[in-house]
């Protein structure tokens, strides 16, 4: 029988598997040149839907905490994610984003007082190397703003993940998820209008792509993600993100008839080794985060 921790990891791992489909949906179903619109339509409808389903609103400090977490985990992250996806080859964006587990581990030492082990650092470096082997191409084009966006996305989500662990909401999981998605979408709304203008005419294909990203890629995926953060170490959870480029590569091979090389096979094995190494020797559940009373408000 699987342990509770292993079961939580397996369920949480569904999220990066779902997020691994984002590149395919973006390139095959969404209109070109609209990264911020994609981020908005992925988040705001999903957030409003969850708020309507749960019929719960934030109380007290959770009004501003939801705004902060929604901006970091949802609004800023998704905007930077799609800017990077549109401006960079998928391999470059994925490789830059793979540094996120290291950021989370470093932030956890300062904000959550968790010990940073050599194993964690080596696993994080191995994850970046493995993702690079898996998805980078020799002729990959580097775009300065694209790299900055991908790196910025990794940083803001790292802060969001750690703060989500530090600030544990007393509300039901779906309510908290809805608050963050709605807050992040509302932050994006004026930015989308000012930068990209009014949305273009939508085709049935575009609507299908946006609906998938909102319902599956956000409402379902983020609920599972925040559930994992509640019950597991942020570092353990974030290492699961290494599964996203693996998923994207496998989908490209199956759906787009892309050829897999020996280097990609080695990269996939390195990624899996880094992921397994990051989880070895962990306690069954993450230790509770003790926050001084003066810092709880």
Q: pLDDT digits over 38-78, tens only?
A: 889 999 999 999 999 999 999 999 999 999 999 999 999 88
Q: Which pTM value belongs to this model?
A: 0.85
Q: Contacts for 25-28 with beta carbons within 8 Å, 24 or more apart?
A: 25/209, 25/212, 25/213, 25/217, 26/82, 26/85, 26/86, 26/209, 28/209
pLDDT at 285: 43
Q: pLDDT digits over 95-127, tens only?
A: 777 889 999 999 999 888 888 888 889 998 998
pLDDT at 89: 66
pLDDT at 185: 95
Whether 296 has a pLDDT exceeding 50, the answer reads no
Whether 282 has a pLDDT exceeding 70, the answer reads no
Task: Decide which of 146 and 158 is more confident.
Answer: 158
pLDDT at 141: 66
Tell me the torsion sign for CA atoms 244, 279, 221, 51. negative
Q: How confident is the model at residue 26 (pLDDT cuts 50, 70, 90)?
A: confident
Q: pLDDT digits over 208-236, tens only?
A: 999 999 999 999 999 999 999 999 999 99
Name the residue ranges covered by the structural domains of the chain: 4-284
Average per-residue pLDDT for the chain: 85
pLDDT at 294: 36
pLDDT at 295: 38
Q: How confident is the model at residue 288 (pLDDT cuts 50, 70, 90)?
A: very low
Percent of the chain with pLDDT over 70: 89
* CA-closest candidate to residue 12, choices 240, 244, 235, 181: 240
Percent of the chain with pLDDT over 90: 43
Task: Decide which of 215 and 265 is more confident.
Answer: 215
CB atoms within 10 A of CB 125: 15
Taking the CA atoms of residue 287, residue 288, residue 291 and residue 297 in that order, the dihedral angle to the nearest 10 degrees is: 140
Task: Determine the average pLDDT of the residues in 233-252.
Answer: 87
Q: How confident is the model at residue 131 (pLDDT cuts 50, 70, 90)?
A: confident
pLDDT at 88: 73
């Amino acid at each position: 029988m699987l342990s509770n921790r292993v079961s939580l990891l397996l369920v949480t791992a569904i999220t990066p598997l779902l997020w691994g489909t984002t590149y395919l949906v973006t390139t095959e179903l969404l209109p070109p040149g609209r990264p911020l619109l994609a981020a908005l339509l992925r988040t705001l409808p999903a957030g409003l839907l969850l708020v309507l389903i749960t019929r719960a609103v934030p109380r007290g400090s959770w009004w501003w905490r939801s705004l902060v977490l929604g901006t970091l985990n949802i609004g800023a992250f998704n905007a930077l994610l799609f800017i990077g996806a549109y401006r960079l080859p998928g391999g470059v964006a994925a490789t830059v984003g793979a540094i996120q587990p290291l950021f989370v581990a470093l932030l956890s030492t300062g904000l959550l007082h968790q010990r940073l082990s050599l194993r964690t650092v080596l696993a994080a470096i191995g994850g970046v190397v493995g993702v690079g082997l898996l998805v980078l191409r020799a002729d990959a084009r580097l775009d300065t703003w694209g790299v900055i966006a991908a790196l910025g996305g990794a940083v803001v989500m790292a802060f969001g993940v750690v703060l989500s662990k530090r600030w544990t909401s007393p509300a039901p999981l779906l309510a908290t998820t809805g608050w963050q998605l709605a807050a992040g979408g509302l932050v994006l709304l004026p930015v989308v209008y000012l930068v990209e203008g009014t949305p273009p005419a939508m085709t049935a294909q575009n609507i299908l792509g946006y609906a998938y990203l909102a319902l599956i890629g956000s409402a379902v995926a983020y609920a599972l993600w925040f559930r994992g953060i509640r019950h597991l170490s942020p570092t353990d959870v974030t290492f699961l993100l290494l599964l996203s480029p693996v998923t994207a590569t496998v989908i490209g091979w199956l759906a787009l008839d892309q050829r897999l090389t020996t280097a990609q096979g080695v990269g996939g094995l390195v990624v899996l080794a880094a992921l397994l190494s990051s989880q070895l020797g962990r306690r069954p559940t993450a230790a509770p985060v003790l926050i001084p009373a003066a810092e709880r408000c």
